[in-house]
Amino acid sequence: MTVSDWCEIEAVSAGYLHTVGLQSNGTVVIVGMNKYDQFHVSNWRGIKAIAAGSLHTVGLKSDGTVIAAGSNEYGQCNVSDWYDIVVVAVGCAHTIGLKADGTMLAAGYNDYGQCDVSSWHDIGNYGN
């Protein structure tokens, strides 16, 4: 499969060696290199947003929870307990989530302070 085979795409995200597409039915398609199992998205359903890191893929589900696949060498896929998330973003080896109440969560590589977001508040109150 190539991206030219994709249809009904609502969003895309480009990682280091893979590209992810979000289909209008809430499923995810993916192409590129799958060396770290970042392609394990075939059972993902109810996805409303996606993000591709260097070696991991993240999906934001309609219920506000987050799912991830791929390399977890730095803990960047440790998002299974996140809830009330309205926006996700990823870097090379970290994942960021914005909660509906405006607080931030982060997981993954933090040698340069890129996950030091817990003190950020009221970024945007999306829940009200």
Task: Assess whether pLDDT exceeds 80 at residue 123.
Answer: no
* pLDDT over threshold 70, residue 126: no
Nearest 5°: the CA angle 93, 95, 96 is 145
pLDDT digits (tens, 9 = 90+) for 10-33: 999 999 999 999 999 999 999 999
Strands (E) located in the chain: 9-14, 18-23, 28-32, 47-52, 56-61, 66-70, 85-90, 94-99, 104-108
Structure tokens at 52: 């591709």
94 with 80: CB under 8 angstroms? no
Which candidate, 11, 10, 12, 43, places its Cα nearest to that of 24?
Answer: 10
Q: Which pLDDT tens digit goes with each residue over 76-107?
A: 999 999 999 999 999 999 999 999 999 999 99
Q: How many residues does the chain have?
A: 128
C-alpha–C-alpha distance, residues 121 and 104, integer Å = 7
Q: List residues bridging with 51 in a β-sheet.
A: 58
Per cent of the chain over pLDDT 70 is 93
CA–CA separation, 22 and 125 (whole Å): 25
